[in-house]
């Protein structure tokens, strides 16, 4: 049975779609109101501002990534399995979490200070944790010897296209794509 979404959830999902499709600057409150079948003035009964939406979407997803990173980092998995778990997180977010598109591609750049700096720091914290797993994997001989930063950014770049490719209105075999891509990327790291 499908859960009924609150108006606020509908607004957040519509905002994420509009930010992705039109871009944050080009999305107006009127566009958002139309997308959720409200008057623009009624939106303010549910949200504070357009930037509040962007900030909440960005930070919620940043915390999802960091929480998963912490869980994976503290697990008993091998370093290579940890990298695979993080790759799978990115693939899951890209195929199942619409708002991750907004948070981790381009629109976060429109946050104002101090939110922008705080969000950039969260991204750096995530990358630092992911990098540490790669470095430890190289030291343990599980991952091929290469510049860890190059490996990190190659992995992140290799997954970024998926955020743009997956569209909610175009079904695809997401599980097979996720498994193929995760397997392909992990095999490229094996020593």
Kindly indicate the confidence band of residue 80, based on its pLDDT and cuts at 50, 70 and 90. Answer: very high
Q: What is the pLDDT of residues 107-116, one digit of tens each?
A: 999 999 999 9
- What mean pLDDT do residues 70-96 have? 92
Residue 180 has pLDDT above 90, yes or no: no
Task: Determine, yes or no, domain membership for 128.
Answer: yes
Task: Determine, yes or no, domain membership for 154.
Answer: yes
Range of the domain at 82: 50-187
Record the pTM: 0.87
Higher pLDDT, 71 or 105: 71
CB under 8 Å to 19, separation ≥6 — which residues?
27, 54, 57, 102, 107
Task: Determine, yes or no, domain membership for 41.
Answer: no
How high is the mean pLDDT of the chain? Answer: 88
- CATH number of the domain within which 120 lies: 1.10.357.10
Percent over 90 (pLDDT), the chain: 57
Residue 1 has pLDDT above 90, yes or no: no
- What mean pLDDT do residues 82-103 have? 82
Q: Distance between CA 142 and CA 191 in Å, rounded?
A: 6
Task: Determine, yes or no, domain membership for 80.
Answer: yes
Q: What is the pLDDT of residues 10-48, one digit of tens each?
A: 999 899 889 988 999 999 999 999 999 999 888 999 999
| Tally of CB atoms within 10 A around 185 | 20
The tally of domains found in the chain comes to 1
């Amino acid at each position: 049975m499908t859960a009924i979404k609150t108006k606020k959830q509908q607004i957040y999902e519509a905002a994420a779609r509009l930010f992705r499709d039109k871009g944050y600057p080009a999305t107006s409150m009127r566009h958002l109101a139309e997308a959720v079948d409200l008057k623009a003035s009624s939106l303010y009964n549910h949200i504070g501002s357009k930037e509040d939406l962007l900030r909440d979407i960005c930070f919620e997803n940043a915390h999802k990534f960091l929480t998963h990173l912490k869980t994976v980092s503290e697990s008993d998995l091998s370093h290579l399995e940890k990298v695979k778990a993080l790759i799978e997180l990115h693939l899951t977010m890209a195929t199942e979490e619409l708002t991750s598109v907004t948070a981790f591609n381009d629109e976060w750049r429109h946050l104002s200070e101090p939110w922008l700096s705080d969000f950039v720091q969260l991204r750096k914290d995530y990358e630092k944790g992911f990098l540490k797993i790669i470095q430890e994997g190289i030291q343990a001989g599980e991952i091929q010897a290469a510049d860890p930063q190059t490996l990190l950014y190659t992995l992140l770049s290799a997954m970024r296209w998926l955020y743009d490719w997956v569209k909610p209105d175009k079904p695809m075999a997401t599980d097979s794509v996720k498994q193929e891509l995760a397997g392909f990327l992990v095999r490229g790291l094996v020593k």
